[in-house]
Structures are given as structure tokens and as C-alpha cells.
Amino acid sequence: MSEYVLDHHLEGEGRRLALMSRLLDPMHRRHLGELGIGPGGKALEVGCGNGSIAAWLAAQVAPGGSVVGVDLDLSLIATRAPDLEFRQGDILAGPVDPGGFDLVTARAVLHHLADPELAIANLVASLARGGAILLIEPDFLPVSVAGPPPIREFWDGWLAWAGDQGIDYHVGRSLAPRLAALGLEQIEGTAETAVYNGGSRWAEYWTETVAELRGPLVGSGHFDDGLIDAFLAHCADPGWWTETISFTAVRARKS
């Protein structure tokens, strides 16, 4: 069974997933809407977290359609709907209902996985011929120019810590070539980056995450308490504006 570093039993994970839904669902829904899933469709979301996107998809495919949401851990599912089934499962273990879905999507999942290539192959194998896949993953490219210097230093430490955990925060750029290597067609994508300041929802997300992980971060040797305090102080300062993640959304079709 795969391991997930920010697991659902960390105290703040439910709040963080709710914040992610507020921050990222509008973008995810926009991309899904452009793919044109409608009544009668069959959709799969893998790594569905609290289930907010799976529930939205269920409303789009009604009447007559169905949605499956899969996650390693279903304990934070905050929603139920008709024709929406949640399954506990590991995408590294194999495809879900092979060839069974018109639409397959996953957001912010692949960067945590030991074998993203295998996961993408299993997602593609879950897709029916003519179906569409939408992957949305982070790429931390913007932090390479973040400022002031302590912030840059903080992100260098964060990326080093993440590397130790097997997290690939640059996986976004690999999505299109990986889908192309699997023979998918009509591949296109965009990457978008939130511009945020201290006190905003994104700053709140980072404040909560870093506060909760403070012990392991300092223990890793990539940070000291002063660096973490400097980062948290910026996150509380409305005069500090920054950019962190380029969310890379790539869609493709299976012929």
C-alpha cells in the first residue's frame, strides 16, 4: 500500500483539504467544463480527498450518469450524492474498472507517488476509447524567483525536504510528455499560478501546513526555527506578495 506524507490523520488535513477545495475547485471545474462531460457520462476521480470535485461531477452527469471517487483514505469524504460511489483504493495497484470511464481526472496526487508513470498508465487504462483525461499537478517553478532571500531559502529547504520524502514538486512539467508516451492524442495544457499576499487563503494554507510539519522540517536539517519563523511572518504580512505553485493542467484523449 502506498504512503501519503500529509496523511488524513494529521490534525489539520481536513481543514487543508477544505482550503484546497476553495482554492483549486474553480480552476478544476473550469477545465472539466471545457471537456464537456454531461448527462449520462461516466467519470472517475482518483485521489479525491474530501470528494468535492467528485460530487460536482455527479451533478454534471445526472441524470443517467455515474461517478466513482477513489482514494487511499476515505475518512475525510464530506459529501454524498446519488450515483456517486466512493471506493478505497490505491492507483498504483491497477486501473479502476478498465476502459470503463468517459472522463478520468486526478488533482494534486501524482506528485506524492513513488511511481507517477505507473499511476498515469493505470489512469489511462481506466479510460474508455474516445474518453478524456485531465491531470492537474503542481510545478514549483515560481519559487525559483521568490523573494526576499529568506523566502527563497525557505523554499530551497522545502524542496530538499520534499525530495527526501519522495515528493516531486516539479511533476507538472512531465504530464504532457508522459501522456504522449502512452499514445494519447489532442494533448494540450496550461499552467496557472496564484498571486497572493500575507493573510490570504494561500498564506493561510502554507501557515497551517508549515506549522503542523514544523517538527519534521526542523528535524530534517534543511531548516532552522529562525527560517520557519521568517516564512510564517511573511505569510502574516499583507504587504508581502508572492507566487509559489504553477498548477499544470493537461488534458488528452484516448483514441
List of residues contacting ligand SAM (CB under 6 A) = 2, 4, 17, 20-21, 24, 46-49, 70-73, 90-92, 107-109, 112-113
- Minimum distance of ligand SAM from residue 234's CB (angstroms): 23
CA dihedral in degrees (230, 235, 238, 239; nearest 10)? 40
Compare residues 21 and 60 and give the one whose CB is closer to ligand SAM.
Answer: 21
Spatial neighbors of 86 by CB under 8 A, at least 6 apart, are 48, 51, 54, 68, 69, 70, 71, 74, 77
Compare residues 24 and 57 and give the one whose CB is closer to ligand SAM.
Answer: 24
For ligand SAM, the nearest residue by Cβ is: 49
In degrees and rounded to multiples of 5, residue 250 shows phi and psi of: -125, 130
- Minimum distance of ligand SAM from residue 106's CB (angstroms): 7
Helix (H) or strand (E) holding 133: strand 127-139
Compare residues 189 and 227 and give the one whose CB is closer to ligand SAM.
Answer: 189
- Minimum distance of ligand SAM from residue 150's CB (angstroms): 26
Judged by DSSP in three states, 74 sits in coil
Helix (H) or strand (E) holding 179: helix 175-181
Compare residues 72 and 249 and give the one whose CB is closer to ligand SAM.
Answer: 72
- Minimum distance of ligand SAM from residue 18's CB (angstroms): 9
